[in-house]
Amino acid sequence: MYAKWTPINYTVTFNSNGGTAVANQTVSYNSNATAPAAPTRTGYTFGGWYSNTGLTTSFAFTTPITGNTTLYAKWTLNSYTVTFNSNGGSTVSNQTVSHNNTATAPANPTKTGYTFGGWYTNAALSTAFTFTTAITGNTTLYAKWTLNNYTVTFNSNGGSAVASQTVSYNNTATRLPIDEDGRIRSEVGIRTRLYRQRLPSLRRLQETQRYMRSGI
């Protein structure tokens, strides 16, 4: 008479802790479970299987199974880099933001002769970015700039009026008509008036400038 023995089978259960489902395994006593494909979870990186809910004891798949076993997935929340491309303006530091959190609006950059127009999600500057938007991946934001315009005003000191000019930053105002003697020529009706005082050459515009003339 010979005794016959049948190995006891145990169930290895995989608790993916919010990740994709992993099928249970049936494992004979003192045999090993097979490491499954890693589960996935949006915004997290898989950190292995653990034998306790506190995730303090990692599980090795060379461990013999001697009873029903539950394994728990460990996850690490992803962090992403938000990069600020100031498009020629002052430097803005990058930010590290956890998945599904929001970036912090930085102080506005500056650029000489331009006005800052906000941050955009694309280099073409067609989609504005709001800082209530959850960050779900590495992100680059682009600064938008508008060229400043300045007013050049002419004070004729009692002479006929001369229209002011609007000039963009770093451009030049339009030269007033001057005759061969260096006098300003101004057409008024059918008469031509000449002004004796010569104008200094117009300088490249940096801020609003005023030019004065004396008329007779």
Give the chain's domains with CATH numbers.
9-77 (2.60.40.4270), 79-147 (2.60.40.4270), 148-193 (no CATH)
1 is written with which tokens?
Answer: 């008479």
Give strand ranges (E) for 5-43: 9-15, 25-28, 31-32
Q: Which of 74, 71, 73 is nearest to 13 (CA)?
A: 71
Over residues 150-166, the mean pLDDT reads 90
Is residue 72 within 8 Å of 52, Cβ to Cβ? yes
Using one digit for the tens of pLDDT, what is the confidence trace for 163-211?
999 999 999 999 877 656 555 555 544 343 444 444 444 444 434 444 4
- Average pLDDT along the chain: 87
54 is written with which tokens?
Answer: 């506190």
Q: Which residues have C-beta within 8 Å of that of residue 70, sequence separation ≥ 6? A: 12, 13, 14, 15
Q: Is a pLDDT exceeding 80 seen at residue 33?
A: yes
Cα gap 142→138, rounded to integer Å: 14
Cα gap 109→107, rounded to integer Å: 6
Give the whole-number percent of the chain exceeding pLDDT 90: 73
Q: Pairing mode, if any, of strands 191-195 and 44-50?
A: unpaired
